[in-house]
Structure 1
Amino acid sequence: MAQRGFPPVPSVATVPALLLLAFLTSAIHVQAASPEPGTVKLLGFTYAGDGCPPGSAQGAVSDDGEAITMMISQYTASPDPPLHAVRKSCAVTVKLSYPPGFRFHLGTVTIRGYAKLDAGMTAIAATSYYISGTPGTARASRVIAGPFDAEFEFTDRFNVLLYSECNVVRDLNLRSEVRLAAGLVTGGDEDDPKLTQEFAIIWESC
């Protein structure tokens, strides 16, 4: 008479090993949600605009691949002479390199600079980005109200989640703009006008 078979029952010694294997598998899956440190590279960038004359921009990607920093000198808007400019802008095209199997969006932008505004005056610092070949533009902005005479650091979240394509690396396009009714907006301080923008990169496996 045939006997009904039953699957073998793991021994007590085997159970911890199985649990350990499950834990290691879970840990590997979590780590794979973003590229390994050092694998996200900034291959180069180009820029143009009255806010970023030739030779005024520097860029870098953090070692962990979770931030892009752009620093632009001579980024100054003022209605007073000699500038007579109440609006300045800069467009930057970034070429990244990163491993396949990931996509990203920019979560926040942190802007550091200097502003001098009289009472009743305002300035708007606007930032946007889009990815070549992908529809849509994500935007963030900050209003600075006078009276204000100090260095500033603001972090703002982009209004939409605009993702890159999976396994296709395309140019990342960043645009910044400063508009003011009256006063002065620069980067760094009044004597050293450097505007710094730090973009938080949010990665996902795909």
Structure 2
Amino acid sequence: MKLLSALSLVPLVAAAPAAEVSPRGLEVPNSVVPSSVRVRGISLLGSGCPAGSADVQIDATKTLIEVTFSEYIVETGPGTRAADWRKNCKLTLNLEFDEGFQFATLATDMSGFAQIPTGSRGICTNTFDFTGATGSSQYALALPGPREGPFTLHADPDVVSWSPCGGTTAIMNMNTQCNISPTQNPALIAVDRISGKVTVNISVQWQKC
């Protein structure tokens, strides 16, 4: 598990009155946002995010979280092992913000590189929940063959889960996992060859409790 040092974010200007598109392409819905948000701590654990290979950033609007992985590689075919066929990373993000707010994850974009032949299928699943709250949001992203090249996949949850009210902190848990089947065919889900990363962009909405 890797614990990253806490970081402070610059104050946010007033929210725009209409929905807008973030610099990374996710639509950001109307929302009232806290005047300050601070990341108190981040932990990362899993085969897809060995120490030093993952990074978390929050954009200036506080409505987009970007998680990048530089060693997230899923591979099947001759010479591969069970550990290669599936990768996962559990991220725990501890946020501190103004009292009287809560937030939810609304959508995800996942991008990387895929080489999936006919007859094979890749799937990535991102699951979000909040410590102390019931329910979770799950996003399934399918990569059926044949395809080869960069990909960006968008998904919305069936159920939106909100962080608990009544405090100034919330712990968001994200578990991302990808696998390919069948395992005997050569196939790959990996970092993009240009950016060198697998990226998960998470659209976030705030509201007053």
Q: Which interval holds the TM-score relative to the shorter structure?
A: 0.7 to 0.9
Instruction: Answer 1 or 2: which has greater strand percent.
Output: 2
| TM-score, normalised by the number of residues in structure 2 | 0.77
1:138 Cα shift? 1.1
Aligned to 2:158: 159
Q: Letter of the 1:49 partner, please give it.
A: G
Residue 76 of structure 1 contacts residue 193 of structure 1 at CA under 8 Å; is this kept in 2? no
- Give 5+ residue unaligned stretches, structure 1: 1-26
Deviations 1:39-96 (A, max 9, x none): 1222321111111111111111111110111111110010236652211111000011
Aligned to 2:65: 68
Over alpha carbons, which structure has the higher Rg?
1
Aligned to 2:170: 170
1:185 Cα shift? 0.2
Residue 32 of structure 1 contacts residue 205 of structure 1 at CA under 8 Å; is this kept in 2? no
Deviations 1:118-138 (A, max 9, x none): 112110011001100112221
Q: Letter of the 2:203 partner, please give it.
A: A
Instruction: Answer 1 or 2: which has greater helix percent.
Output: 1
Instruction: Report the secondary structure of 1:90's partner residue.
Output: strand
- Give 5+ residue unaligned stretches, structure 2: 1-16, 18-29
Q: Letter of the 1:184 partner, please give it.
A: L
1:166 Cα shift? 1.6
Matched, 1:53 2:57: no
Residues in 2 aligned to 1:187 and 1:127: alpha-carbon distance in whole angstroms: 17
Aligned to 2:100: 101
| TM-score, normalised by the number of residues in structure 1 | 0.78
Instruction: Report the secondary structure of 1:51's partner residue.
Output: coil
Residue 92 of structure 1 contacts residue 174 of structure 1 at CA under 8 Å; is this kept in 2? yes
Change in Cα spacing, 1:81 to 1:54, as seen in structure 2 (3 Å) is farther
Q: Letter of the 1:40 partner, please give it.
A: V
Instruction: Report the secondary structure of 1:170's partner residue.
Output: strand
1:184 to 180, 183, 188: 188
Residue 76 of structure 1 contacts residue 88 of structure 1 at CA under 8 Å; is this kept in 2? yes
Matched, 1:202 2:205: yes
Identity, % of aligned pairs?
A: 23
Change in Cα spacing, 1:164 to 1:116, as seen in structure 2 (3 Å) is same
Let me know the Cα RMSD of the aligned residues.
Answer: 2.0
The number of residues matched between the two structures is 174
Residues in 2 aligned to 1:108 and 1:32: alpha-carbon distance in whole angstroms: 15
Residues in 2 aligned to 1:138 and 1:100: alpha-carbon distance in whole angstroms: 24
Aligned to 1:139: 138
Residue 96 of structure 2 contacts residue 170 of structure 2 at CA under 8 Å; is this kept in 1? no
Residues in 2 aligned to 1:192 and 1:172: alpha-carbon distance in whole angstroms: 26
